[in-house]
Structure 1
C-alpha cells in the first residue's frame, strides 16, 4: 500500500496515527508555537506523520524553513565566537529574510515529521518506493516543497542514496552528536565515568515514568522551558501539558526524571525511540540550581546507560557540543532531503542557492567552531 497525504486514523495501531490523531486540527493546544495541518502517509506497513504549511512564519523551526533559516539561525549565531564573521552572516540573513517570504519558502510538506528537534527513521529496508511516495505527494500538492528532515550518513546513508536517486537535493542543516559504540566507546571516556559516579552518589531520587504523576506535568513543561525556551531559543517547540499527557501514554516515548528531597522534579528527560535508535527531545532542569548539582549530567547519563544496556544508538541532537564531545559523542552533519523539481523555476533557484550557501559557508563554520 502506498499513499500520499491522508488524515490520521483515530484508534489505528500505527504509532504515527496514534500520535497525529491527537494533534488533528488543534496543534497549538499541543505545541503552542506550531500551527500546521497534520496527517499521515503510508509506505507498505510503515506509516509516517506529515505536516503541511503555507506561511505561518511564527512557527517553530520543526515545520518552518523560514524560522530555521532566519530567526532561529540568528539565535544560534550568538554562539559564534567571531564578531566579524557573525556580523557578516547576520547581514546575509537579513537580505534573505524578505526574499524567502516572497518565494513562499514555508509552502512545504514535511514527511516523517514528529514535530521534534530530531526525527528518527525506520530501518532502510522498510522505506521503499521513495520516488513513488514523492510523486503521490506532489500530485496532491503541486506547489509545495517536500522535505524529509533529520538525516545523517551514519544512521541513514542508504536512505539518503534513495532520496538522491529520487531527485532530492541533500541539504546540510546542522551538526548533531551520535553515541554509538560502532563509532566510539563512550563508556571509556573520563567524563562518562565521572558522571556515572555522580549518578550513583546524588541525593536526587530517580523517577521512572510510572511514578510521574499528572500533577508533575506543569513542572515538566516549566523545566523544559527553562532550558530550551528561556536559555536557548523561543523558536524551539513549546510543548504544553496536553502534549506531556499524550507522550506519557505513547509507546514511542518514555519520560523519567529526578526529584529533590522535597519530592519536586528538578530534572526531566523524555526519550523518543524508533526501533534501535533513540533521541532525547524533552530535556529540562531547574537552571536556578548551581551547576555543581549536575542536573543535566544526570539526565544525559540516564539516557546513555539505557542506550548502552540495550545496544541502542543515541542521537543526542545538536547543542552543548563541548559537553557531548567530552562524553564520547561523535559530531555528524545532519541533512534534509528536499524535492523541488515540480516547483516554478524561481522557487527552485532559491532552494539551490540556499543549498550552496549551507554547503560552502555554514558546514565549514559548524565544523570549525563546533556548533
Structure 2
C-alpha cells in the first residue's frame, strides 16, 4: 500500500514491538491495511494461516508499506512461505499432470536430488518482501525510489538470509523486474499463471453459458455484507474442500480467524453462492484488488455435489463479471489451464526474484542450479503441457 506522507525515516522496518509506530495514512486504504497487518503482528501468522510459522515485519520504503516474512527452516510451511515446499514438495505432487510415467519418475528423482542440495544450502533461510501469505502477491505499479536502501537495510538486519520477492509476472510487473535485476537478482520461474484478456466469440459464449447456470440451478450471489459470523465455518469448509482436500495440503490452511477478519474488516471481498431452495452456501470466493489488478486467494465449493451442477463454472463467471464491471484486470493464478484458456485467459510465467549475492557460494549454489534447470527445462515443460 502507499502512504500519504510521513516525517519518519525513508526506510524503516517494524515488528510487533514497534508496530504502533507504523504511519498508516488516515484513508480507507490505510485503515484496511492497519486492520489487516496489526492483528497479524500482534497474534502471529499461525493464528490466520495454520500451516505457516514465520516472523512478521512491515517494511516502509518512502510512502509505501510491504509485509515481510522471515524464516530459517520451517520446511513444513505452506508454499506461500516456504520456497522448499513450493519448488520441491508441491512440485513432486504436481508431476502426475504430465501423464508421462517415465518422465514423472525421472523428474521425481531429480527433485529429490535437488531437494537435498537446497536443504544443504538452507534454502528456507529467507526474507520475503511483499509476502501477504497468499497464493498471489500483487504489487504496486510504482517501484519505490528507496528500494536499494531498503535492500541494504534488510541485508544488514538479516545478513545470513536470501532476500526473495514472489509472484512477479513480466506482463504486470516489468518495472519491478527491471529494478530488481539492477540490484543483482536472479529470476527463478515458479509457475505458469493466467491473466484474463479480451475474450473471443467462443470464450464469450462459454462465459454466458456459465452465468446462465446460476438461475438454472437456483443460486443467488451473496456479497460479504449479507453474510455473518455464523457463515464463517461453512466458508472455511468450502475452501478446504477444494484447495486442501482435492488439491494439496501444501496450500495455505486459512483459519476461521482469517475468514472472520476478511469478512468483518473487508481485507478480502467475499462473495458466496447460496442455494435459494435450501438456503445452504455451496461456494465461496474472496479477492483483493491493488491498482486495478484483482486476484482470488479464496476459491472453493462443495465438492460432494455433482460436478454437472457446475459450481466451479458459476464461481468463475461471477469472478469474471466482477472484473468486467469494475474495469479490473483479473489475475487468475494457476490451475485449471484448459478451462481458463477457453474463457479468454492468456498464460504468463511467474518468477521469484532471488537476491543472494551477499551470501557464500555454498548458499547460492542451490538457487543457481534451480535457476538453470527451471529456465531451461521447467518453463518449456510448463508451456508444452500447459500446466
The two structures have a TM-score, normalised by structure 2, of 0.91
Unaligned runs of 5+ in 2: 1-8
Q: Following TM superposition, by how much is the alpha carbon of 1:196 offset from its aligned partner in structure 2, in angstroms?
A: 2.4
Q: Report deviation, 1:278.
A: 0.5
Give the alignment partner of residue 329 of structure 1, picking from 345, 353, 357.
Answer: 345
In structure 1, the residue matched to 2:179 is 162
Match of 2:65 among 47, 51, 68: 47
Give the deviation of 1:251 after TM superposition.
Answer: 4.2
Quick check: 2:121–2:365 contact (8 Å CA) kept in 1? no
Counterpart check, 1:130 vs 2:127: no
Could you tell me how far 1:16 is from its partner in structure 2? 4.1
8 Å contact 1:168–1:338 — kept in the other structure?
yes
Shift of 1:193: 2.1
Query: Secondary structure in 2 aligned to 1:70?
Result: helix
Matching of residue 362 in structure 1 with residue 386 in structure 2: no
Question: Contact (CA 8 Å) 1:304, 1:314: kept in 2 or not?
Answer: yes
Structure 1 residue 98: Cα displacement: 2.3
Q: 1:3 to 1:26 in 2, by over 3 A?
A: same
Q: Distance in 2 between matches of 1:71 and 1:345?
A: 24
Please name the residue that 2:309 is paired with.
Answer: 293
Structure 2 partner of 1:283: 299
Alpha-carbon distance, 1:240 to partner: 0.6
CA distance in 1, matches of 2:201, 2:239: 26
2:258 pairs with one of 206, 229, 243: 243
- Contact kept? 2:261, 2:267, Cα under 8 Å: no
Give the match for residue 304 of structure 1. 320
How far off is 1:205 after superposition? Answer: 1.7
The secondary structure found in structure 2 opposite 1:317 is: coil
Which residue does 1:173 correspond to in 2?
A: 190
Which sections of structure 1, spanning at least 5 residues, go unmatched?
A: none
Partners of 1:275 and 1:69 in 2: CA distance: 29
Task: Tell me which of 206, 210, 215 is aligned to 1:191.
Answer: 206
1:180 and 1:312 in contact (8 A); partners too: no
C-alpha deviation, 1:341, in angstroms: 0.9
Alignment size in residue pairs: 368
